[in-house]
A and B are shown apart, each in its own frame.
Chain A
Amino acid sequence: MIPAPLASFDLLYLAREDHARTGSAWLGVMALQDIPAIAKALLAAGYHLEDISGLDAAEGAVAAYHFDHFTTPGRITLLALAPHDAPVFPSIAAIYQGAEWHERETRDFFGYVFTDNPNFIPLLLPDDMADIHPLKKPEAARASLLTLFAGEGRGSEVQRKAEGFTLLDQPAPTAADDAKAAPAEAKQPEAKADDQPDGGKDA
C-alpha cells in the first residue's frame, strides 16, 4: 500500500523496494515543484527527515531525501532531479527546520541551490571555498540513474510511473540505451565472480 502522504501526489516514479536489499521501503522520484508540498504532507503524517544528500548522476543533479517514521518504520527515499547547469531545488527548511543544515551541506559538496533556505551560507567547508564542490563528478565518471537505482535483482515493484518518465525503465527500448546497458551488465557478474563467488551469485 502506498504510504498515505504520498498517495495524493503525482510522483514521477514510485516503487516498493525490498528492505533487506536496499534499506528503503519506497523509492520515489518527485517533480521539483512538488518537493515542499510532499514534505509538508510527510511531516503532517509524522515522518522525520533523516538526511538530504546530493548525487551527481549522468541524467542530472540528484537530491535524495530520506524520510522515516518513528512508530511505523519504513524508509522513503525520494529523489528530485534538476539539470546539471541549473541545480536549483526548492528548500524545505521552512517545513523541516532540520533540513536547513542538510541543504547547506549539500550546497557545499555539490553546489546545489536551495531557494528560500533562510540562512544559505557555507556550513562545513570554509567560506572561501564557495566555488569548489568536492563531490561533483567529471562528465565521464557520472553513472546513470538506471545503474544506481534500478539494477539487476533489486526487486523493485513499480507502483506508479508518470507519462514520459523513462529514466528508470528496466529493459532499455532504444538501441543506444541497449548498448550502454550491455557492457555494464556484462561487467558486473565478472566483478562478482572475481571477488565473492558465494555471496555475489545469490544477489
Chain B
Amino acid sequence: MTRPIFSDTKGDFYSINFEKGARENTIILNMGPQHPSTHGVLRILLELDGEYIVRAEPVLGYLHRMHEKMGEVKTVGQYMANMGRVDYLHAMAWNWAWAGAAERLAGIEVPERAEYLRIIATELNRIASHQVWWGAYILDLGAFTPILYSFEDREKILDMLQMMSGARLTFSYFRLGGVANDVPPVFFDRLREFIPYMRNRLNMYHALVTGNMILKQRIEGIGVMDVDACNRYGATGPMCRGSGIAHDTRRAEPYGLYDRFDFNIPVYHEGCCMARYMVRLDEIEESLKILEQAVAAIPEGPVLPAKPLKFNAKLPAGEAYYAVEGGRGKIGVWVASDGGKTPYRIKLRAPGFSNLSIFSELAEGTLIADSIAILGSLDLVIPEVDR
C-alpha cells in the first residue's frame, strides 16, 4: 500500500467551498480544528492578505452531539444529565433552562429554599465560568500566568459546587421542581468566607492585568460592534452589554426569585473587546452581591415539592420557551410536547452560537492577532455552539 500524499489533496468540502470566493493573491489559512486558541474544536477558514484578514468563515460541527435529538428519545428527567454537557463551563444555567422549561410546561411550583439554592449554584458557576474565560483570554493574548491565578480561585468554587451536587464540572444538580439535595451546613460557612476573598482577588485581577499597557493596546477599540449588530446577529449577554444595551434575562423576564435581588447590570458603551472584558469582570462582582443576599435570606424548608415530577414523567401537551441568563448570554430552551413519553421537540438556543456568527463580520479587515483577541472576547464554549 502506498502512503497517501496529503499535500496533494485539494482540501475538504468546506475549504473547497471557501476557496471559490477567494480573491487573487491571497493565502487561505485553515485555523483549527486543532489550534491553541480556538478552545476546543472550532475551525476557522481565513483568507489572508499578508497579516490582514480578508474573509473569515467558522466551520462548526466538530463537537456536534445532537442534543436536540437526544431530547426526543429521553424522558424529562433523563435529559437533565445532557444539560451539564451542553456548556460545561456554565452547566448550572443550562440545568436551570431545561428544568424551567419543563416546569413551565407542567406547571410545577418550586419550593423557596430550592429557588435560593438554584440561584446560589448558578451564580457560583457564573463566577467560575468568567474566571475560566478571563484566564484563557489573557492566555490567548500571550500571558500565561493569569489563568493559574484564576484557576486557583475557581478551585474554591468547584469545591463548593461539589458539596452541593457531587460533581465538579458537568453538573446535574437541578431536578424538575427543585434541586437534587440540600447542602451541608458547612457549605454556607465556606460561601461566607469566599465572598470577601473573591472581592479581594477581583481587585487583584484588575491590578495585575486590566491596567496593563500592552493589554489595553491589544483589546481597546478592537472588534467594535454596535446595537444594530447585536440585533442582527442576536448577540446577547456580555456581548450586548458591552455594546451599551442594558439587557439581562434575569431582569428582562425574571425567572426564579431574581426579582427579589438587588444587583446592577454592568453596561459599557464602547462595544470593543475591552468593554466585554470589563462587563465580565464586573459581573463577578454582581454575582457576589447576589450570593451575599442569597446567603442572608435563604429560608429553611424542603428542596423538592412534596410530590415532585418523576424522572420519567410525561409532559402535558403544549409548548413553552424558557430563557435563562448564562455566562455567555441568553440561554433558551424551547420544548414542545404532544403528551407522549418523551418530549416532541426540544430546541436549545445556545448564546455562543449567535455570538460566534458575528465573528466573520468583526474579523474582516483585522490582523491575525486582532482576530484572536476578538475570538477570545466572544467567550466561546464549543460544545455549546455545536450542541
Q: Do chains A and B touch in the complex (CB under 8 A)?
A: yes
A interface residue numbers (CB < 8 A to B): 19-24, 43, 46-51, 53, 55-56, 64, 66, 68, 70-71, 73, 75, 77, 95-98, 100-101, 109, 119, 121-127, 134-135, 143, 147-149, 151-152, 154, 184, 187-188, 191-192, 194-200, 202-203
A-B contact pairs, 22 of them (CB 8 A): A23-B334, A43-B231, A48-B232, A49-B231, A49-B232, A51-B332, A51-B354, A66-B332, A70-B231, A96-B232, A96-B234, A98-B233, A101-B60, A101-B353, A101-B354, A124-B60, A124-B387, A143-B317, A143-B344, A147-B339, A196-B313, A199-B177
A66: which B residues are within 8 A, CB to CB?
321, 332, 334, 349
For A151, the closest partner residue in chain B by CB is: B318
Q: How far is the CB of B322 from chain A (nearest CB, A)?
A: 5
| Cβ A109 vs Cβ B322 within 8 A | no
Alpha-carbon distance A184/B340, docked complex (angstroms): 10
Given A96-B234, A135-B72, are A73 and B252 also a contact pair (CB < 8 Å)? yes
Footprint of A on B, CB under 8 Å? 13-14, 17, 57, 60-61, 64, 66, 68-69, 72, 101, 104, 106-109, 177, 227, 230-236, 240, 245-247, 252-253, 305-310, 313-314, 316-323, 330, 332, 334, 336-339, 344-345, 347, 349, 353-354, 357-358, 361, 386-387
Q: Is the CB of B339 within 8 A of A188?
A: yes
Q: Binding site of B, secondary structure by majority: helix, strand, loop or mixed?
A: mixed
> Once the chains bind, are B318 and A22 in contact (CB under 8 Å)?
yes
Q: Are A184 and B313 in contact, with the CB atoms below 8 A?
A: no
Q: Is the beta-carbon distance between A191 and B339 smaller than 8 angstroms? A: yes
| Contact (Cβ within 8 A) B309 A195 | yes
Distance in Å: Cβ of A91 to nearest Cβ of chain B: 14
Counting residue pairs across A and B whose Cβ atoms lie within 8 Å, the total is: 190
Closest to B322 in A: A23
Please give me the 4 A-B residue pairs with the lowest Cβ-Cβ distance, nearest first. A203-B107, A23-B321, A143-B338, A98-B233
Given A66-B349, A149-B319, A195 and B104 touching (CB < 8 A)? no
**B307–A196 touching, CB < 8 Å:** yes
Contact B349 A123 (CB under 8 A): no
A148 touches B344 (CB 8 A): yes
Q: State whether A48 and B231 are in contact (beta carbons under 8 Å apart), knowing that A71-B247, A195-B313, A198-B307 are contacts in the complex.
A: yes
Q: Is the CB–CB distance between B310 and A77 below 8 Å?
A: no
B69 touches A135 (CB 8 A): yes
- B338 and A70 form a contact (CB under 8 A): no
In the complex, what distance in Å separates the CA atom of A121 from the CA atom of B14? Answer: 9
Known: A66-B321, A147-B317. A134 touches B61 (CB 8 A): no
